[in-house]
Chains A and B, each alone.
Chain A
Amino acid sequence: MDESQLLARARQNDPEALGEIYDAYSPRLYAYACRMLGDAQTSEECVGDTFYRFLHSLRSGMGPNTHLKAYLYRTAHNWVTDYYRRQPAGISALSEELAAEQTAPETLASQAIEQERVRAALLSLTPDQRQVILLKFYEGWENEMIADALHKPLGAVKSLQHRALAALRRRLHSEVEILYEPMD
């Protein structure tokens, strides 16, 4: 079904349309949130709040008429940004993941450390830079769609992308250099 038709039905509180929207987007939103949050329960909370805000927008006559996907990702992204702002620095959600997986503990630990390091590097970016990398690298979005999600022109998205990659390179490479620096 056409997205605008689906949204029109959702505005009329059609449970079938709302369910269809949830089924289509919640798994991807979950993955998107989990990538940054590293915790299944918090990610579910993010997904739930994102859809609740979407409902409110529809009921108040606002919300998207098109680009629903961009709207939902933008809402989830704002949720994650707010979440990290509220959290004290250094909080990690890795313990749950470590317990849940069926892999050897040492492999898991190493993987978790590496994930946390990359996540920390992503969190060191500006929210817009971070969103560009998440949508482009992990979600496979085109620049035009990212521009829609960020409400920015295409040129700005390319610029954000360039700066984000440079910042990540600096951050991750310098950490590697420090890790492998020979001891005196």
Chain B
Amino acid sequence: MSQWIESIDPQLAEQLEVLRTVTRRDPQMAAAGRERFLASASRLAHNDSPSKLSRMAWIEGVSGWFAQREPAKLRLALIGLLVIVMLAFAGLIPVAQASGASLPGDSLYWFKLLIEDARLELVGTPAERIEMSMENADRRIREAEAMAGSGRVIPDILTDRLAYNLNAAFQMASTLPDDEMIPLLERLRLRLESQEQRLMRIGSALADPDPVLERAREILRIRLAWTAAGQQAPQQFREQNRLPEGWNQPPTEGAAGWGPVNPTPGVTWMAPTGLHPSRTPATMATPSPLRQQASPTGTQGAGAQPTAYHTLAATPSPALNRTAMPTGTAGNPGSTPQQNPTAGGTQSGPGPQATQQPPGGGQHP
């Protein structure tokens, strides 16, 4: 150490030396200080709980951090950033409230979707995620009702998001064990039927068929088939709902990035099944094997062929099972000739296997 002192400027070292000698410590004050220290230790040991002290230390640490001088610039920058973030959050609250009532095409709709996605990320259990996804899908239906009621054109984003919400629910459902998944699929089926009926009512109130609404209904119908098939063949349902790459990219309003990989928004999930909900209204008019076997009356729907699910909306689920599953349940007490016109049709109907084939058995270009 003396080497170090010798190495510095001698004049400076001499000047610094004047502080080497300090006032002698008063022995009485030193003894009193020691006594106070030990008394404090004894008091702390008897009075304060460790948790209370931990809290105090935390508060002291935070306040000490803010009180420190160095490095002042960094600290000021962090404090400034904290203030900005707090103000931003405070400002976002009314925006979030206002966005809740927004509809597709509104300026705040993207924010509403953002909040939905964020909330979905925050829920933990599969059951909660499924419920929230289905609530979001319900919201899409309500949006469609509101837009149709006010005479507004329903944009594609609504169907894209509907498909996204439903797919999120289905994917989570596919992760559950059989004993949980099968009853869940039944509940989903009932809910989808309700949604599909609501869309049907909207469509019937319109003067002209709305292609976006029709696509939304097709999306629901396909998933209705999945729920029915999944109850019979859970493993196949899981494979069917295995996520394709990039599954977690939600469609956003005005997104321009669908491109060649996913040229039609909202259909990413349907590719594995072979059921193509993105068909145009013209192609949708061509009955699929599923419709051919289960909707003989053709009296329902507005501009679209009635499907098995229209009839099944008020029908117990065993009828759907008969319709959609290849195994055939013709002897099921819930069956009616109208829903199941031919036993052979049911036997060869598009159950889970059929969903792997293109609708119409490749009749569409």
User: Hey, which bits of chain A sit against chain B, CB under 8 A?
Assistant: 13, 15, 18-19, 22-23, 26-27, 30-31, 34-35, 40-41, 43-44, 47-48, 51-52, 55-57, 59-62, 78, 81-82, 85, 97, 100, 111, 114-115, 118-119, 122, 126-128, 133, 136-138, 140, 142, 165, 168-169, 172-173
Docked pose: A9 CA to B48 CA in angstroms: 18
Interface segment, one of B34-42, B279-287, B325-333: B34-42
Q: Is B67 an interface residue (CB 8 A)?
A: yes
Return the chain B residue nearest A53 by Cβ: B60
CB contacts (< 8 Å) of A55 on chain B: these are: 37, 40-41, 44
Q: How many whole Å from A7's CB to the nearest CB in chain B?
A: 14
**Interchain CB contact (< 8 A) of B1 among A19, A97, A140, A172:** A140
Return the chain B residue nearest A111 by Cβ: B18
Given contacts A62-B57, A137-B5, A165-B9, contact A13 B41 (CB under 8 A): yes
Return the chain B residue nearest A113 by Cβ: B18
| 29 A-B pairs in the complex with CB atoms less than 8 angstroms apart | A13-B44, A18-B38, A22-B34, A26-B33, A27-B30, A34-B22, A34-B25, A35-B19, A40-B25, A44-B26, A55-B41, A56-B57, A59-B48, A59-B50, A59-B53, A60-B50, A60-B54, A62-B54, A78-B68, A81-B69, A85-B69, A118-B15, A118-B19, A119-B19, A136-B4, A137-B5, A137-B13, A165-B8, A169-B9
Total number of residue pairs linking A and B with CB closer than 8 Å: 120
Q: In the complex the two chains form, is A18's CB within 8 Å of B37's CB?
A: yes
Return the chain A residue nearest B29 by Cβ: A44
Given contacts A59-B44, A118-B15, A165-B12, contact A48 B33 (CB under 8 A): yes
Return the chain B residue nearest A141 by Cβ: B1
Q: In the complex the two chains form, is A60's CB within 8 Å of B40's CB?
A: no
User: Hey, which bits of chain B sit against chain A, CB under 8 A?
Assistant: 1, 4-5, 8-9, 11-13, 15-16, 18-20, 22-23, 25-26, 29-30, 33-34, 36-38, 40-42, 44-45, 48, 50, 53-54, 56-57, 60, 64, 67-70
Docked pose: A44 CA to B32 CA in angstroms: 10
Q: In the complex the two chains form, is B38's CB within 8 Å of A15's CB?
A: yes
Q: Identify the 3 closest CB pairs spanning chains A and B, nearest first.
A: A60-B57, A60-B53, A34-B22
Docked pose: A89 CA to B53 CA in angstroms: 35
**Interchain CB contact (< 8 A) of B26 among A40, A52, A60, A137:** A40
Return the chain A residue nearest B67 by Cβ: A82
CB contacts (< 8 Å) of A59 on chain B: these are: 44-45, 48, 50, 53
> Told that A30-B22, A59-B44 touch, could you supply 6 new A-B pairs with CB distance under 8 A?
A19-B38, A26-B30, A35-B19, A44-B33, A136-B4, A169-B12
Q: In the complex the two chains form, is A126's CB within 8 Å of B33's CB?
A: no
CB contacts (< 8 Å) of A61 on chain B: these are: 50, 54
Q: In the complex the two chains form, is A137's CB within 8 Å of B57's CB?
A: no
Return the chain B residue nearest A47 by Cβ: B33
Of the candidates A22, A27, A47, A60, the one having the most CB atoms from chain B within 10 angstroms of its own CB is: A60
Q: In the complex the two chains form, is B34's CB within 8 Å of A26's CB?
A: yes
Given contacts A13-B41, A40-B23, A59-B48, contact A173 B11 (CB under 8 A): yes
CB contacts (< 8 Å) of A133 on chain B: these are: 16
CB contacts (< 8 Å) of B60 on chain A: these are: 56
Docked pose: A78 CA to B50 CA in angstroms: 25
CB contacts (< 8 Å) of B15 on chain A: these are: 114, 118, 172
Return the chain A residue nearest B12 by Cβ: A169
Q: In the complex the two chains form, is A138's CB within 8 Å of B19's CB?
A: yes
Given contacts A40-B25, A56-B44, A59-B44, contact A127 B57 (CB under 8 A): no
Docked pose: A40 CA to B28 CA in angstroms: 12
Docked pose: A47 CA to B22 CA in angstroms: 15
Q: How many whole Å from A106's CB to the nearest CB in chain B?
A: 16
